[in-house]
Amino acid sequence: MPCENNERLLHGYFDGELDLVRSIEFEEHLKTCVDCARGLHELQDLRESLRAANLRQRASEALRSRIRAALPVDARPQPIAPPRRPMLEWFAAAAAILIAIFLAGKLLPNIGGQKPNLVAEEIVASHIRSLQPGHLLDVESTDQHTVKPWFDGKLDFAPPVIDLASKGYPLVGGRLDYLGHRNVGALVYQRRKHLINVFVWPEELGAAKLPELQTMQGYNLIFWSYHGMYFCAVSDLNAAELHQFAQLLEQ
């Protein structure tokens, strides 16, 4: 058992919930307190056992369908992906977009890419869509040497793929996605139960002045660029950890 005064601190420390100062203080305490050090080991073992036991229960398909069926018709999914649209509507939409782009090109010749917010909105929409069943991964692997070659021939650039499992952000896989009228790479990482999508596209997509950090619909987005490529990490993970993740990827 941990020593009485520090029991709550031990749990806060173990869960990564102490602020920096208290965390450093507690690490000092751990050096001299055998009970707390053993308590920390026990907590780690308990968590490992819980993970290995795979106790998380998943909703059945029957429940999923029952809930969908119980929703009013207008709450059911609208077609999101262009291929699902009826052809005519799709052509009309495409024509409208072309006209809009043409007009925008005439009227606003200086705007190179999309507005930052449009990019962010597209990214959030793609992220949400990727979380729907069966949409997350085209290639499922925790091995960067499997995921990276998979993009060969599918993109006209090579997104850097690194595994961060040792840092607590394991690679889950990757997929092709579509942003700003072009194919982009999407890498999927995980932090506890939070999924992180990292979109990668070459610089010519435009949108040169994206904000570094943005929150939209409850999702955090972090943008950065590196070696002529643009990156955006998006997740429901808290901003601090997402920031740490982005820094690890940048290195």
Partner 1 sequence: MGEVKGGRVQAGTFEQVVLPHLDAAYNLARWLVRNSHDAEDVVQEAYLRAFKFFGGYQGGDARAWVLRIVRNTCYSFFEKNRPAELAEQFDEEIHTAGPEQPSTETELLRSADSRMLRDALSELPVSFREVLVLRELEGMSYKEIAEIMSVPIGTVMSGLARGRAQLRERLLRVRAEGERRALRK
Question: Under the rule (CB under 8 A), what is the footprint of partner 1?
Answer: 1, 7-8, 10-12, 15, 17, 38, 41-43, 45-50, 52-60, 62-64, 66-68, 70-72, 74-78, 80, 128-129, 131-132, 191-194, 217-218, 236, 238
Comparing CB distances to partner 1, the nearer of 57 and 251 is 57
Least distance to partner 1, CB of residue 219, Å:
9
CB 200 within 8 A of CB 234: no
In the structure encoding, which two tokens stand for residue 37, read together?
């050090």
Cβ proximity to partner 1: between 31 and 193 the closer is 193
Closer CB to partner 1, 130 or 229, in the complex: 130
For the CB of residue 191, give the shortest distance to partner 1 in the complex, in Å: 8
Cβ at position 148, least distance to partner 1 in Å: 27
| Tokens found for residue 98 | 């072309």
Give CA–CA dist 202/104, Å, rounded. Answer: 22
Enumerate the H helices of the chain as residue ranges: 7-14, 20-32, 34-53, 61-70, 87-107, 116-131, 144-150, 239-250
Q: How far is the CB of 204 from partner 1 (least distance, A)?
A: 30
Which residue's CB is nearer to partner 1, number 38 or number 209?
Answer: 38
Please state, in angstroms and rounded to a whole number, the distance separating the CA atoms of residues 9 and 5: 8
Beta-bridge partner residues of 233? 198, 222
